[in-house]
Amino acid sequence: DAKTTQPNSMESNEEEPVHLPCNHSTISGTDYIHWYRQLPSQGPEYVIHGLTSNVNNRMASLAIAEDRKSSTLILHRATLRDAAVYYCIRNYGGSQGNLIFGKGTKLSVKP
């Protein structure tokens, strides 16, 4: 199956770190792991992506397991604005592949 597996929902407290897990046990060697998020009534927004090693940017960090069968998106300090649906996606088919979205994880952030 080309899709990934994520928990349906998670809760976090404001200003605490959040770890969003994702399983992609059938991933092939050339498939990247992408994370997007979607705020209510908006289009998806890119968060981060990576292949094998851990990746960091201004929004988040991506930790990829050594066997690449799972990964974790890390938000270092959650804010109310981070409440969204987070999609873990593999671009099935490598460089010529398309993004295959699942249902994502709905993250709630409590003040």
Q: Which is nearer to other proteins, 95 or 111 (CB)?
A: 95
CA distance 36 to 107: 13
Q: Look-up: residue for tokens 């092939």?
A: 28
In the complex, what is the shortest distance from the CB of residue 60 to other proteins, in angstroms, rounded to a whole number?
Answer: 13
Report whether 60 contacts 76 (CB < 8 A): yes
Query: How many residues make contact with other proteins (CB under 8 A)?
Result: 24
**CA distances (Å), 31 to each of 49, 99, 101, in order?**
11, 10, 14
Q: Does 95 bind other proteins (CB under 8 A)?
A: yes
For the chain, counts of helices (H) and of strands (E): 0, 10
In the complex, what is the shortest distance from the CB of residue 33 to other proteins, in angstroms, rounded to a whole number?
Answer: 11
Q: Which is nearer to other proteins, 15 or 45 (CB)?
A: 45
In the complex, what is the shortest distance from the CB of residue 71 to other proteins, in angstroms, rounded to a whole number?
Answer: 16
| Contacts to other proteins by CB under 8 A | 31-32, 36, 41-46, 49, 87, 91, 93-104
